Structure 1
Amino acid sequence: MWSLGVAAFVAFVAAIPQPLGIGAVLLEDASSAKGFLVEAVAVPTTRDITGFGGWRSFVTSETAA
């Protein structure tokens, strides 16, 4: 997790390409935080990486393959 000031957050969000966005993400401890989301229109053509336990594990598995 990272913490950004308002101006940095606005600049960061403005640079995120569609179909990605920022929204509330439910965490394992049932709290929520802002995180990356993908618009529903993109879901049918994307790969579900939930089974990897997170982005870092997915990237590691891809580089090991």
Structure 2
Amino acid sequence: MRVTDGGKAIDVEVWNVPASLFGSFVAGIPTPLGIGKLTLADGREVPGFIAEPIAPEGATEIIELGAWRRYIASRR
């Protein structure tokens, strides 16, 4: 989620999804997620998951772990 103050960079995975499959992929994304532009540390902009402002309500904060996969690993 983009914020105006604070926030931290996290690790991301960049996948190569064929254009012919992108629409069906996006159609399966549940609320409150969506697709938007992400700016990577090297300055590239890529399509990626974004979240509506309501998304953090009741969610677990994982920013200190720095990556989704590290969060999943921490739960094992």
- TM-score in same-fold range (> 0.5): yes
* Residue of structure 1 aligned with 2:51, choices 22, 29, 38: 38
**Residue identity opposite 2:64 in structure 1:** G
**Bigger fraction of residues in helix:** 1
Q: SS at the partner of 1:8?
A: helix
Deviations 1:16-40 (A, max 9, x none): 1111111112222233221111111
**Matches for 1:1-65 after TM superposition, within 5 Å:** 1-63=14-76
Gaps of 5+ in 2: 1-13
The runs of at least 4 consecutive aligned structure 1 residues that moved more than 3 Å come to none
Question: Percent identity among equivalent residues?
Answer: 37
Considering Cα pairs closer than 8 Å and 6+ residues apart, tell me whether 1 or 2 has the greater RCO.
2
Q: Cα distance 1:38–1:52, how it changes in 2: closer, same or farther (>3 A)? A: same
- CA RMSD, 1 decimal: 1.4
Gaps of 5+ in 1: none
Distance in 2 between the 1:54 and 1:28 partners? 14
